[in-house]
Chain A
Amino acid sequence: AQSVAQPEDQVNVAEGNPLTVKCTYSVSGNPYLFWYVQYPNRGLQFLLKYITGDNLVKGSYGFEAEFNKSQTSFHLKKPSALVSDSALYFCAVRDGADYKLSFGAGTTVTVRA
């Protein structure tokens, strides 16, 4: 079985400050990890993925994520947050052999001006 935990329901940061959204996962095989973002009344948009290789992956809109196998974590980061980054962020995991993608409960990010 595979699962994802996002321990924070909400993250609040000031514009210009670093942003971190936490994610831990559990899979039986090799993990394929993803971050998606959802703006109000919209579908989810893909941000970045980790498949293999470098533990630091870069994605859209200046976001990056660090894969840590020993801690089974895949935290999303942005060095300098913008007000426009305010949205709902989802971490997702897939066992390498599977088609099904399991999502976390989501973290609401609010960036204040």
Chain B
Amino acid sequence: NAGVTQTPKFQVLKTGQSMTLQCAQDMNHNSMYWYRQDPGMGLRLIYYSASEGTTDKGEVPNGYNVSRLNKREFSLRLESAAPSQTSVYFCASSFREISGANVLTFGAGSRLTVL
């Protein structure tokens, strides 16, 4: 049972380079999310997709784009990386329970360093 799989696990970029973080889930969840984790700031939502075909901005969307390729896959793209985007990125997925709650299942994270 893979859950949420993120690739790559580690990446080093130079300022101005582009890259895409890939995320796939095998739990048939409707919703998917991208968060970044920075020391002392917790997790901040970058973008989310409530369902296949929809994407919405979170708290810190600037400098990022996303694609919900299908129900399983949700990618995060940095078009022109900046040192401020050095962070650990987490993908998550969830389904909406009858109660209305949505418990997120997280991937293992992708550590990105921008020089």
Contacts and interface: CB of A to CB of B under 8 A. Distances in A.
B26 to A, nearest CB: 15
Interface size class of A (residues with CB under 8 A): 20 to 34
B74 interface: no
Interface stretch (A13-21, A67-75, A77-85, A92-100): A92-100
B42 interface: yes
A43 B45 contact: no
B48 A106 contact: no
A100 B58 contact: yes
Interface in B1-55: 4, 31, 33, 35, 40-45, 48, 50
Contacts, number: 59
A60 to B, nearest CB: 12
B58 A90 contact: no
A34 B103 contact: yes
Given A43-B90, A100-B58, A90 B108 contact: no
Contacts of A42: 108-109
Given A44-B90, A103-B43, A96 B100 contact: yes
Given A42-B108, A43-B90, A44-B90, A32 B42 contact: no
Interface string A47-90: 00101100000000000000000000000000000000000001
Given A45-B106, A100-B45, 9 more contacts: A4-B42, A36-B106, A49-B103, A90-B43, A94-B102, A101-B102, A102-B45, A103-B35, A103-B43
27 contacts: A4-B42, A9-B40, A32-B100, A34-B103, A36-B104, A41-B109, A43-B90, A43-B106, A43-B107, A43-B108, A43-B109, A44-B43, A44-B90, A46-B103, A46-B105, A51-B99, A52-B99, A90-B42, A90-B43, A99-B31, A99-B102, A100-B45, A101-B45, A102-B59, A103-B44, A104-B42, A105-B42
